[in-house]
């Protein structure tokens, strides 16, 4: 199947020993987009509306993190925030990028924070959307996302949790995401990442407060007011901890800010990343 027929499959590079599928748009200063942790998720599913907009002025790169999408799943692969952070650093090294801005969605925000905290010289600016990375009691929504077992009805219920407006939650979208979640290897790796009890996996994504307070990067926090997966309080906490930060909250918005308010989100992020 060609890349045209399968838009989720782009180029491949070896990142910290892992054959990593990634999408690319545009040229200029690099920005890496790190997807979330929903079942069947891919870089394309998260960033299909964002990549072309950022690619108008930047080199936008969106990898599938190990365990997700069309990136290699090595036998016996262990998962954790350090593994994913090392994959991002390896991705940058493979593409000869000494520094890049990071845009992290949810779980991807926690990865971006860990990279920035441990390797601050490799990061230019940060955009964190509905981000994990600070402590919070797991929400029923996130518990349902990480506990997903494949069925069309279960996927419909998850989409209702993700999106504020039911207009986005079509039968067609549910079918597409369900089919993605049952591709060979997808659910097996997903099930291995976040077994119950799941509060421990929220805690495992946390970067210590003293490290967050030391972050020197200009940071844009974005959150949906009505997010049922990651509570707005996490971004309020990050706003308090990260010295050079600002927060934009979208009303009538759930966990998919980049999809539910795509045009405004793209303008906001592009202006933040290119404003000197």
106 is catalytic: yes
Q: Which of 37, 101, 106, 235 is catalytic?
A: 106
Residues 6+ apart with CB under 8 A from 147: 194, 196, 198
Q: Which of 35, 70, 223, 255 is catalytic?
A: 255
Q: Give DSSP secondary structure letters for 62-99.
A: EEPPTTSTTS---TT----HHHHHHHHHHHHHHTT-S-
Q: Which of 227, 235, 245, 261 is catalytic?
A: 227
Per DSSP, what are the bridge partners of residue 63? 22
Residues 6+ apart with CB under 8 A from 97: 30
255 is catalytic: yes
Supply the angle between the helices 171-181 and 152-162 in degrees, to the nearest 10: 110
Environment class of 172 (CB within 10 Å of its CB; exposed 0-12, middle 13-18, buried 19+)? exposed
Pairing of β 18-25 and β 100-105: unpaired
119 is catalytic: no
3-class secondary structure, 1: coil
Annotated catalytic residues are 106, 227, 255
């Amino acid at each position: 199947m060609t890349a045209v027929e399968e838009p989720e499959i782009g180029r491949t590079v070896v990142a910290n020993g892992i054959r990593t599928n990634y999408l690319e748009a545009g040229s200029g200063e690099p920005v890496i987009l790190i997807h979330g942790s929903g079942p069947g998720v891919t870089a394309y599913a998260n960033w299909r509306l964002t990549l072309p907009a950022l690619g108008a002025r930047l080199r936008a790169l969106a990898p599938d993190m190990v365990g997700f999408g069309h990136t290699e799943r090595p036998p016996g692969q262990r998962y954790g925030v350090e593994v994913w952070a090392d994959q991002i650093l390896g991705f940058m090294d493979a593409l000869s990028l000494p520094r890049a801005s990071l845009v992290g969605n949810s779980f991807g925000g926690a990865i971006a924070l860990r990279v920035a905290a441990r390797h601050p010289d490799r990061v230019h600016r940060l955009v964190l959307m509905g981000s994990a990375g600070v402590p919070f009691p797991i929400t029923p929504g996130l518990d349902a996302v990480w506990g997903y077992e494949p069925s069309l009805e279960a996927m419909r219920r998850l989409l209702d949790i993700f999106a504020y407006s039911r207009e986005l939650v079509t039968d067609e979208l549910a079918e597409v995401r369900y089919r993605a979640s049952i591709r060979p290897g997808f659910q097996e790796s997903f099930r291995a990442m976040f077994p119950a009890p799941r509060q421990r996996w929220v805690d495992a994504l946390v970067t210590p407060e003293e490290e967050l307070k030391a972050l020197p990067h200009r940071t844009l926090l974005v959150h949906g007011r009505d997010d049922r997966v990651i509570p707005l309080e996490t971004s309020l906490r990050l706003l308090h901890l990260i010295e050079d930060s600002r927060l934009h909250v979208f009303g009538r918005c759930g966990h998919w800010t980049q999809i539910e308010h795509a045009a405004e989100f793209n303008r906001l992020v592009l202006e933040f990343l290119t404003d000197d």
